[in-house]
Copies of this chain bind each other. A is one copy, B any other.
Amino acid sequence: MAVIIGAGNVASALAPALETAGLEISQIWSRNPDNAARLASTLKIPAQPIADLSQIRQGEDLYLVSVTDDAIRPIAQRMKGFGGLWAHTSGSVDADVLSDITDTYGVFYPLQTFTRGITVEMSEVPLYIEGSDAASRQSLLEIAGRISRRVSLADSSRRRRLHAAAVFACNFVNYMWSVADDILREEGDDISVLFPLIEETMRKMEATGDPAAVQTGPARRNDKGVMDGHARLLSPEHSELYRTVSEKIINRYHPNERDQL
Protein backbone atom coordinates (compact mmCIF):
# COMPACT_ATOMS: atom_id res chain seq x y z
CA MET A 1 0.00 0.00 0.00
CA ALA A 2 1.23 3.48 -0.82
CA VAL A 3 0.37 6.99 0.32
CA ILE A 4 0.62 9.82 -2.21
CA ILE A 5 1.40 13.23 -0.76
CA GLY A 6 0.42 15.74 -3.41
CA ALA A 7 -2.22 15.84 -6.14
CA GLY A 8 -0.54 17.93 -8.85
CA ASN A 9 0.61 16.97 -12.35
CA VAL A 10 3.30 14.49 -11.24
CA ALA A 11 1.22 12.87 -8.48
CA SER A 12 -1.69 12.55 -10.92
CA ALA A 13 0.52 10.59 -13.33
CA LEU A 14 2.29 8.45 -10.71
CA ALA A 15 -0.73 7.40 -8.62
CA PRO A 16 -2.43 5.41 -11.42
CA ALA A 17 0.95 4.04 -12.53
CA LEU A 18 1.69 2.73 -9.03
CA GLU A 19 -1.77 1.20 -8.90
CA THR A 20 -1.24 -0.51 -12.26
CA ALA A 21 2.11 -1.77 -10.93
CA GLY A 22 0.23 -3.55 -8.13
CA LEU A 23 0.55 -1.09 -5.25
CA GLU A 24 -2.77 -0.12 -3.76
CA ILE A 25 -3.02 3.61 -3.00
CA SER A 26 -4.53 3.90 0.46
CA GLN A 27 -4.49 7.70 0.90
CA ILE A 28 -3.93 10.85 -1.13
CA TRP A 29 -3.09 14.05 0.68
CA SER A 30 -3.45 17.54 -0.74
CA ARG A 31 -3.66 20.90 1.00
CA ASN A 32 -6.69 21.37 -1.24
CA PRO A 33 -9.22 18.61 -0.34
CA ASP A 34 -10.94 18.88 -3.76
CA ASN A 35 -7.69 18.04 -5.53
CA ALA A 36 -7.12 15.02 -3.27
CA ALA A 37 -10.69 13.83 -3.89
CA ARG A 38 -10.41 14.36 -7.65
CA LEU A 39 -7.22 12.29 -7.94
CA ALA A 40 -8.54 9.61 -5.53
CA SER A 41 -11.62 9.16 -7.71
CA THR A 42 -9.53 8.41 -10.83
CA LEU A 43 -8.17 5.20 -9.27
CA LYS A 44 -9.69 1.76 -9.71
CA ILE A 45 -9.68 1.21 -5.95
CA PRO A 46 -10.58 4.62 -4.52
CA ALA A 47 -8.04 6.05 -2.10
CA GLN A 48 -8.98 8.07 0.98
CA PRO A 49 -8.56 11.77 0.22
CA ILE A 50 -7.12 13.70 3.17
CA ALA A 51 -6.12 17.33 3.73
CA ASP A 52 -4.44 16.93 7.11
CA LEU A 53 -0.96 15.36 7.37
CA SER A 54 -1.80 14.01 10.83
CA GLN A 55 -4.30 11.62 9.18
CA ILE A 56 -1.58 9.75 7.30
CA ARG A 57 -1.50 6.08 8.32
CA GLN A 58 1.68 4.44 9.56
CA GLY A 59 3.02 1.09 8.31
CA GLU A 60 2.44 1.50 4.56
CA ASP A 61 5.00 0.29 1.99
CA LEU A 62 5.75 3.68 0.45
CA TYR A 63 5.14 7.36 1.12
CA LEU A 64 5.62 9.34 -2.08
CA VAL A 65 6.03 13.12 -1.69
CA SER A 66 5.09 14.74 -4.99
CA VAL A 67 4.65 18.44 -4.24
CA THR A 68 6.42 21.61 -5.43
CA ASP A 69 10.06 21.73 -4.37
CA ASP A 70 9.52 24.52 -1.84
CA ALA A 71 6.80 22.52 -0.06
CA ILE A 72 8.88 19.37 0.60
CA ARG A 73 10.85 20.68 3.58
CA PRO A 74 7.82 22.04 5.53
CA ILE A 75 6.06 18.70 5.04
CA ALA A 76 9.19 16.81 6.24
CA GLN A 77 9.27 19.01 9.35
CA ARG A 78 5.64 18.16 10.11
CA MET A 79 6.26 14.40 9.71
CA LYS A 80 9.35 14.19 11.97
CA GLY A 81 10.02 10.66 13.28
CA PHE A 82 7.11 9.12 11.35
CA GLY A 83 9.17 6.20 9.96
CA GLY A 84 8.62 4.00 6.89
CA LEU A 85 10.05 4.28 3.37
CA TRP A 86 9.76 7.81 1.98
CA ALA A 87 10.69 9.20 -1.44
CA HIS A 88 10.18 12.53 -3.14
CA THR A 89 9.84 13.06 -6.90
CA SER A 90 11.83 16.26 -7.34
CA GLY A 91 14.69 16.73 -9.78
CA SER A 92 16.38 19.40 -7.71
CA VAL A 93 15.94 18.67 -3.99
CA ASP A 94 18.46 16.58 -2.05
CA ALA A 95 17.18 13.25 -0.81
CA ASP A 96 18.17 13.98 2.81
CA VAL A 97 15.44 16.61 3.15
CA LEU A 98 13.45 13.51 4.24
CA SER A 99 16.00 12.31 6.83
CA ASP A 100 14.14 13.71 9.84
CA ILE A 101 11.09 11.57 8.97
CA THR A 102 12.87 8.23 8.67
CA ASP A 103 16.22 6.52 8.03
CA THR A 104 14.92 4.90 4.85
CA TYR A 105 14.27 7.44 2.17
CA GLY A 106 15.21 8.33 -1.34
CA VAL A 107 14.21 9.90 -4.65
CA PHE A 108 11.85 8.69 -7.36
CA TYR A 109 12.35 11.25 -10.14
CA PRO A 110 10.43 10.87 -13.43
CA LEU A 111 12.19 12.73 -16.24
CA GLN A 112 9.04 13.69 -18.10
CA THR A 113 6.55 16.54 -18.46
CA PHE A 114 3.10 15.82 -17.07
CA THR A 115 -0.08 17.81 -17.61
CA ARG A 116 -3.36 16.84 -16.01
CA GLY A 117 -5.70 15.23 -18.51
CA ILE A 118 -2.91 14.17 -20.89
CA THR A 119 -1.95 10.50 -20.59
CA VAL A 120 1.73 9.55 -20.77
CA GLU A 121 3.00 6.05 -21.57
CA MET A 122 4.74 5.47 -18.22
CA SER A 123 6.72 2.42 -19.38
CA GLU A 124 8.86 4.77 -21.51
CA VAL A 125 9.41 7.45 -18.85
CA PRO A 126 13.00 7.44 -17.50
CA LEU A 127 12.90 7.07 -13.70
CA TYR A 128 15.97 8.14 -11.70
CA ILE A 129 16.33 6.54 -8.28
CA GLU A 130 18.40 7.39 -5.23
CA GLY A 131 18.23 5.68 -1.82
CA SER A 132 19.61 6.45 1.66
CA ASP A 133 20.82 2.85 2.05
CA ALA A 134 20.97 -0.39 0.05
CA ALA A 135 17.54 -1.59 1.20
CA SER A 136 15.75 1.69 0.40
CA ARG A 137 17.50 1.85 -2.97
CA GLN A 138 16.50 -1.74 -3.72
CA SER A 139 12.87 -1.18 -2.75
CA LEU A 140 12.58 1.95 -4.87
CA LEU A 141 14.32 0.30 -7.84
CA GLU A 142 11.95 -2.65 -7.57
CA ILE A 143 8.84 -0.44 -7.57
CA ALA A 144 10.25 1.71 -10.40
CA GLY A 145 10.98 -1.41 -12.45
CA ARG A 146 7.29 -2.36 -12.33
CA ILE A 147 6.37 1.03 -13.81
CA SER A 148 9.03 1.82 -16.43
CA ARG A 149 11.51 0.04 -18.70
CA ARG A 150 13.98 2.93 -18.16
CA VAL A 151 15.12 2.92 -14.55
CA SER A 152 18.55 4.26 -13.50
CA LEU A 153 20.34 5.15 -10.30
CA ALA A 154 21.34 8.82 -10.10
CA ASP A 155 22.94 10.77 -7.27
CA SER A 156 21.79 14.31 -6.51
CA SER A 157 24.42 15.95 -8.69
CA ARG A 158 23.47 13.97 -11.80
CA ARG A 159 19.77 14.40 -11.08
CA ARG A 160 20.09 18.20 -10.77
CA ARG A 161 21.93 18.29 -14.09
CA LEU A 162 19.26 16.13 -15.76
CA HIS A 163 16.61 18.47 -14.40
CA ALA A 164 18.36 21.65 -15.58
CA ALA A 165 18.85 20.10 -19.04
CA ALA A 166 15.18 19.07 -19.07
CA VAL A 167 14.14 22.67 -18.39
CA PHE A 168 15.94 23.77 -21.57
CA ALA A 169 14.82 20.78 -23.65
CA CYS A 170 11.16 20.81 -22.60
CA ASN A 171 9.97 23.95 -20.76
CA PHE A 172 12.02 26.46 -22.76
CA VAL A 173 11.31 24.67 -26.03
CA ASN A 174 7.58 24.82 -25.30
CA TYR A 175 7.92 28.52 -24.52
CA MET A 176 9.61 29.10 -27.91
CA TRP A 177 6.59 27.41 -29.51
CA SER A 178 4.21 29.65 -27.59
CA VAL A 179 6.08 32.73 -28.87
CA ALA A 180 5.85 31.35 -32.43
CA ASP A 181 2.11 30.85 -31.88
CA ASP A 182 1.77 34.46 -30.65
CA ILE A 183 3.55 35.77 -33.76
CA LEU A 184 1.41 33.69 -36.12
CA ARG A 185 -1.90 34.63 -34.48
CA GLU A 186 -1.31 38.29 -35.27
CA GLU A 187 -2.11 37.53 -38.93
CA GLY A 188 -4.62 34.71 -38.57
CA ASP A 189 -2.24 31.75 -38.71
CA ASP A 190 -1.39 29.56 -35.72
CA ILE A 191 1.24 27.08 -34.56
CA SER A 192 -0.31 24.23 -36.56
CA VAL A 193 1.22 25.56 -39.81
CA LEU A 194 4.62 24.86 -38.24
CA PHE A 195 3.95 21.22 -37.28
CA PRO A 196 5.90 19.78 -40.27
CA LEU A 197 8.82 22.07 -39.43
CA ILE A 198 8.69 21.19 -35.73
CA GLU A 199 8.55 17.46 -36.44
CA GLU A 200 11.45 17.66 -38.88
CA THR A 201 13.53 19.69 -36.41
CA MET A 202 13.02 16.97 -33.79
CA ARG A 203 13.53 14.10 -36.22
CA LYS A 204 16.81 15.60 -37.48
CA MET A 205 18.11 16.24 -33.98
CA GLU A 206 17.23 12.72 -32.82
CA ALA A 207 18.64 11.08 -35.97
CA THR A 208 22.03 12.72 -35.42
CA GLY A 209 21.92 12.93 -31.60
CA ASP A 210 23.89 16.14 -32.05
CA PRO A 211 21.80 19.35 -32.02
CA ALA A 212 24.87 21.59 -32.28
CA ALA A 213 25.77 19.97 -35.62
CA VAL A 214 22.34 20.50 -37.20
CA GLN A 215 21.77 24.11 -36.10
CA THR A 216 20.33 26.26 -38.92
CA GLY A 217 18.80 29.72 -39.22
CA PRO A 218 19.74 33.40 -39.54
CA ALA A 219 21.87 33.48 -36.37
CA ARG A 220 23.73 30.31 -37.41
CA ARG A 221 24.56 32.06 -40.72
CA ASN A 222 25.06 35.39 -38.93
CA ASP A 223 22.63 36.92 -41.46
CA LYS A 224 22.22 40.37 -39.89
CA GLY A 225 19.71 41.66 -42.47
CA VAL A 226 17.22 38.94 -41.55
CA MET A 227 17.82 39.30 -37.80
CA ASP A 228 17.30 43.07 -37.87
CA GLY A 229 14.11 42.64 -39.91
CA HIS A 230 12.73 40.10 -37.43
CA ALA A 231 13.63 42.21 -34.41
CA ARG A 232 11.72 45.16 -35.93
CA LEU A 233 8.68 42.99 -36.69
CA LEU A 234 8.38 41.57 -33.16
CA SER A 235 6.89 43.05 -29.98
CA PRO A 236 9.48 44.50 -27.55
CA GLU A 237 9.02 41.46 -25.26
CA HIS A 238 9.61 38.92 -28.05
CA SER A 239 12.29 41.04 -29.70
CA GLU A 240 14.42 41.00 -26.53
CA LEU A 241 14.23 37.20 -26.40
CA TYR A 242 15.04 37.01 -30.13
CA ARG A 243 18.19 39.09 -29.65
CA THR A 244 19.35 37.15 -26.57
CA VAL A 245 19.04 33.72 -28.20
CA SER A 246 20.49 34.95 -31.50
CA GLU A 247 23.51 36.40 -29.68
CA LYS A 248 24.09 33.06 -27.95
CA ILE A 249 24.03 31.25 -31.29
CA ILE A 250 26.37 33.82 -32.87
CA ASN A 251 28.73 33.54 -29.87
CA ARG A 252 28.91 29.81 -30.48
CA TYR A 253 29.25 29.67 -34.27
CA HIS A 254 30.88 33.03 -35.08
CA PRO A 255 32.91 33.83 -31.94
CA ASN A 256 35.08 36.41 -33.69
CA GLU A 257 32.18 38.38 -35.16
CA ARG A 258 30.06 38.97 -32.09
CA ASP A 259 31.27 42.54 -31.56
CA GLN A 260 29.54 43.56 -34.78
CA LEU A 261 26.08 42.88 -33.37
Give chain A's interface residues, CB within 8 Å of chain B.
9, 68-70, 91-92, 111-115, 118, 120, 124-126, 150, 157-158, 160-181, 183-184, 186-187, 189-202, 204-212, 214-221, 223-226, 229-230, 233-234, 237, 240-242, 244-245, 248-249, 251-252
Contacts and interface: CB of A to CB of B under 8 A. Distances in A.
Contacts of A242: 164, 167-168
A171 B209 contact: no
Given A172-B176, A215-B171, A223-B69, A193 B251 contact: no
Contacts of A190: 209
9 closest cross-chain pairs (CB), A and B? A171-B217, A178-B211, A177-B211, A165-B180, A169-B180, A165-B183, A168-B180, A178-B212, A164-B230
B174 A214 contact: yes
Given A111-B197, A165-B194, 16 more contacts: A69-B225, A70-B223, A92-B225, A111-B194, A120-B200, A161-B187, A162-B193, A168-B183, A168-B242, A169-B201, A191-B209, A191-B210, A192-B206, A198-B205, A199-B202, A240-B244
A196 B112 contact: yes
Given A111-B193, A157-B187, A164-B183, A216 B174 contact: yes
Contact of A196 (B126, B161, B178, B191): B126
Contacts of A251: 237
B187 A169 contact: no
A58 B118 CA distance: 58
B177 A161 contact: no
Contact of A200 (B70, B113, B196, B237): B113
Contacts of A118: 204, 207-208, 214
B184 A162 contact: yes
Contacts of A68: 221, 223
B244 A178 contact: no
A13 to B, nearest CB: 11
Contacts of A176: 168-169, 172-173, 176
Contacts of A163: 226, 230
Contacts of A201: 113, 169-170, 173-174
21 contacts: A92-B218, A92-B226, A111-B193, A112-B197, A118-B208, A120-B200, A126-B193, A150-B196, A160-B230, A161-B183, A170-B216, A171-B249, A172-B217, A175-B248, A180-B211, A192-B206, A198-B202, A202-B202, A237-B251, A240-B244, A241-B245
